[in-house]
Amino acid sequence: MDTESSIYVAGHRGLVGSALVRKLKALGYRHILTKTRNELDLTNPYQVDHFFEENRPQYVFLAAAKVGGIYANSKYPADFIRENLAIQTNVIHASYRFQAKKLLFLGSSCIYPKMAPQPLMEDYLLSGKLEHTNEPYAIAKIAGIKMCEAYNKQYNTNFMAVMPTNLYGPNDNFDLEHSHVLPALIRKFHEAKATGQGHVVVWGTGTPRREFLHVDDLADACIYLMDKFHAKTVGPFLNIGTGEDLPIKELAQLIRQTVGFTGNIVFDSTKPDGTPRKVLDVSKTDRLGWKASIGLKDGIEQTYRWFQEHYDQ
């Protein structure tokens, strides 16, 4: 990639897409193509083909998807599998037809079997049963990996896939039902403090462990990989994370402290825990010369400041 390359960021208004655009602009890339969902519905193959034919992007970051936390995944399994399969099928196929030099597909660490050994190595893909709360979403993501691999094999394309751990940062979804745990807890503790509530309810038992990566680190990794590596040299896909996790209970305590809430934490064990643990083995990206640099405490503080500036009621 050079600063004159034409680069399409699909999903540029989301958590990941917006971080990619921020970073690409900061690095001096001048031709960044973006389209809102109203302008281009990526589930529609005719619209996607038309866009690629007209714009012929050289590099494609595929960060558009139907995304949500444990509750949204459980409640809308049909939407999660249908929309994700459609978006990725259309964008990957158009990238091949209109000769994109390279594509980077965003998967997720939920592709790995629920009871796989920890940390999760790339080799563990398809070695066991998936976590049921997000199986349809995970199956769509696995299909995306396999599609990139198949196109590379049959058509000699250069399509790569990355599997990020749980992400957070500016432009995250702070909805109380549909979001992921970290933004949901920022909002819950913030509102509890503002309204003088005595406690905050945290879903599940608090014992599941999760790994969190700041989205600016993810964007940095994606651009580094897109710029420097060929799918043939890195293998079919790569984990991206910090390699460190913590129990949800400790995450809740950290967010409570950051927000300055002095009340109690109450666990609602009627809500699902999901996967007990999913910490990534990050030795492959490490060997390629990339490491996360934003610590969780600093990242939460920065995200909380962003939330206060954009969401405070």
Ligand X SMILES: NC(=O)C1=CN([C@@H]2O[C@H](COP(=O)(O)OP(=O)(O)OC[C@H]3O[C@@H](n4cnc5c(N)ncnc54)[C@H](OP(=O)(O)O)[C@@H]3O)[C@@H](O)[C@H]2O)C=CC1
Ligand Y SMILES: C[C@H]1O[C@H](OP(=O)(O)OP(=O)(O)OC[C@H]2O[C@@H](n3cnc4c(=O)[nH]c(N)nc43)[C@H](O)[C@@H]2O)[C@@H](O)[C@@H](O)C1=O
- Within 98-127, which residues bind ligand X (CB under 6 A)? 106, 108
Q: Which stretch binds ligand X (CB under 6 A): 24-32, 63-71, 187-195, 250-258?
A: 63-71
Q: Which stretch binds ligand Y (CB under 6 A): 11-19, 50-58, 90-98, 270-278?
A: 270-278
Which of left, alpha, beta for 169 (phi over 0: left; psi -120 to 50: alpha)? left
- Per-residue x/- track, 137-176, ligand X (CB under 6 A): ---------------------------x-xx-----x---
- Does 274 interact with ligand Y (rule: CB under 6 A)? yes
Q: What angle do CA 156, 161, 162 make, to 5 degrees?
A: 155
- Does 32 interact with ligand X (rule: CB under 6 A)? no
Exposure string of 90-118, with b = 16+ CB inside 10 Å and e = fewer, is: bbbbbbbebebebbbbbbbbbbbbbebeb
**43 touches, from ligand Y, ligand X, none (C-beta below 5 to 8 Å by class):** ligand X
71 carries an active-site annotation: no
Question: What pairing do the DSSP bridges indicate for beta strands 209-210 and 246-247?
Answer: antiparallel
- Does 191 interact with ligand Y (rule: CB under 6 A)? no
- Per-residue x/- track, 169-208, ligand X (CB under 6 A): ----x------x----------------------------
- Does 134 interact with ligand Y (rule: CB under 6 A)? yes
Q: Which stretch binds ligand Y (CB under 6 A): 53-61, 69-77, 150-158, 229-237?
A: 69-77
Write the CB contacts of 47 (distance below 8 Å, at least 6 apart in sequence).
40, 41
Phi, psi of 188 (to 5 degrees): -60, -45
Write the CB contacts of 246 (distance below 8 Å, at least 6 apart in sequence).
209, 210, 254, 296
Write the CB contacts of 183 (distance below 8 Å, at least 6 apart in sequence).
168, 172, 173, 174, 303, 307
- Does 274 interact with ligand X (rule: CB under 6 A)? no
In whole angstroms, what is the distance from residue 278 CA to residue 176 CA? 23
Question: What pairing do the DSSP bridges indicate for beta strands 6-10 and 237-240?
Answer: unpaired
Judge contact between 252 and 183, C-beta under 8 A: no
Q: Which stretch binds ligand X (CB under 6 A): 49-57, 58-66, 93-101, 298-306?
A: 58-66
Q: Please tell me which residue in 96, 137, 151, 304 is annotated as part of the active site.
A: 137
If DSSP codes are grouped into helix, strand and coil, which group holds residue 203?
strand
Question: What pairing do the DSSP bridges indicate for beta strands 199-203 and 264-268?
Answer: parallel
Which chain residues interact with ligand Y by CB under 6 A? 68-71, 73, 108, 110, 134, 137, 166, 179-181, 184-185, 202-204, 208, 210, 248, 271-275
Bind-site residues for substrate: 188, 203, 210, 273
**Could you list the active site residues?**
137
Which chain residues interact with ligand X by CB under 6 A? 11, 13-17, 36-37, 41-43, 63-67, 87, 106, 108, 164, 166-167, 173, 180
